[in-house]
Amino acid sequence: MSARAMTVAGVMSGTSADGIDVAIMRISPGKSRSKLTLLAHEAFPFPDALRRAVLAAMDAKSTSTAELARLNWRLGLAYAEAVKETARRHEAKLDLVGCHGQTLYHQPHPEAYAGRKFACTWQAGEAQAIAAALQVPVVSNFRPMDMLVGGQGAPLVPLLDYVLFSDAKRGRVLQNIGGIANLTAIPASGGPEQIIAFDTGPGNMVIDWLAQKLFDKAFDRNGAHAAKGLVLAPVLSAALRHPYFRLKPPRTAGREQFGRAYAADFLAACRRHSKAPEDAVATATALTSETISRSYARFVRAKMKSRDVDFIVSGGGARNKTMVAMLTALLNPMGCAVMTSERFGMPAEAKEAAAFALLAWHTWRRLPGNVPAATGSKRAVVLGQVTYA
């Protein structure tokens, strides 16, 4: 494959199901690592009807084949429109698109089905709809190959984290807070084999559900409702005993653990201690903050090789001032300087989309995209499928 510089669009819609992020990157080979430049970033909220369909599919106990087929195509059309509009606004001529798709189901560990035990995953969004609309190749379906060589199919962002943020003198933790929160820890002067990466637990997922249920809002903007509430200590203490938080990395989480049913039980527990809706949101915000800081303390801190660590926050949670304040209070005593990815030229909401631009470029050049130390796979492999225009 060509080693020339390419303009690549990355497309991401996460477990919050709030919309589509598009990042357009200029990527070229370098001596030791790829050279990346962010050219543009745009965010497109899902139309209400599409968001309802996505949320219903992710939490469905049962659904129809017609519903799933229609959702797969509808998402493909939405991704195509978002990428096309981003390219138009920024006058970008694309060479390639990398689309993660919308995760509807992720089962990283083998379970029995129809006489066999296996792991599986599904990211919806018809790639051919994107290729047809944009007339450029599309790389999609990134997770399965990692799973087929023993990995959990996630996290896949550590490749970008390493290329953009690794430093010879400072340890760095890249903490993304989307629907699910995940971190990538890179020790000072560490190579890819020393990366630690895993899902810390719920990010915005429970908070968003509570904001919708209690305040008819899509999310708690700036953490305003949480700032007015009190953290309910008994509820938080009980929530921290969830079996997921005892798992050692590599580990992944999703709506299967922390979706609608979990959030409804969490709200019921809060209401047994307080009728104030703000207290429920404050407690959910504290749960995310505590699980992030405890994950760092238990699994990461001793391996960072430096006393001072840059703790770089991205994703929608980076805009939640109450959460960032909680994280700062918990992490500062451990030598972590909490900051957002904007300080490094990467908008908080753009990083995951940028990661899939880089992963698509790797696939196009037949280079591995997974980091075995992060996913638990037996080896590094080329990820995804290519759809030609």
**DSSP percent split of the chain into helix, strand, coil, nearest 5:** 45, 25, 30
Q: Please, which pLDDT band fits residue 216 given cuts at 50, 70 and 90?
A: very high
What's the pLDDT at 306?
78
Q: How far apart are CA 327 and CA 289, in angstroms?
A: 5
* Model confidence at 62: pLDDT above 90: no
Q: Quick one: average pLDDT of 124-136?
A: 98
> Is-same-fold flag (6-155+349-387; 158-344)?
yes
Q: Is the confidence at residue 79, as pLDDT, over 90?
A: yes
- 58: pLDDT strictly greater than 90: no
* Choice between 338 and 18, residue whose per-residue pLDDT is larger: 338
Average pLDDT, the chain: 95
Closest CA to 281 of 330, 317, 228: 228
> Average pLDDT in the 284-299 region?
98
Q: What is the pLDDT of residue 32?
A: 74
Q: Do 362 and 160 touch, CB atoms closer than 8 A? A: no
Q: Give the model confidence (pLDDT) of 80-107 as tens digits.
A: 999 999 999 999 999 999 999 999 999 9
The stretch 332-346 carries a mean pLDDT of 93
* Distance in angstroms (rounded) separating the CA atoms of residues 126 and 77: 8
At residue 3, the pLDDT reads 67
**Taking the domain 158-344, which CATH number applies?**
3.30.420.40
CATH number for the domain running over 6-155+349-387: 3.30.420.40
pLDDT tens per residue, range 217-247: 999 999 999 999 999 999 999 999 999 999 9
Q: Are 21 and 350 in contact (CB under 8 A)?
A: yes
Whether residue 74 is predicted with pLDDT greater than 80 in this model: the reply is yes
For residue 30, the tally of other CB atoms under 10 A from its CB is 10
> What are the DSSP E strand ranges found in the chain?
6-12, 19-28, 35-45, 96-99, 102-113, 116-124, 138-140, 171-177, 180-186, 196-202, 309-314, 336-340, 385-387
Please state the rounded mean pLDDT for residues 155-182: 94
2 falls in which pLDDT band (50, 70, 90)?
low
For 11-56, the pLDDT digits (tens) are: 999 888 889 999 999 999 987 788 999 999 999 999 999 999 999 9
Instruction: Answer whether the bond into residue 155 is a cis peptide, omega within 30°.
Output: yes
> How many Å apart are CA 223 and CA 200, to the nearest integer?
20
Q: What is the model's pTM?
A: 0.90
- Return the domain boundaries, the chain: 6-155+349-387, 158-344
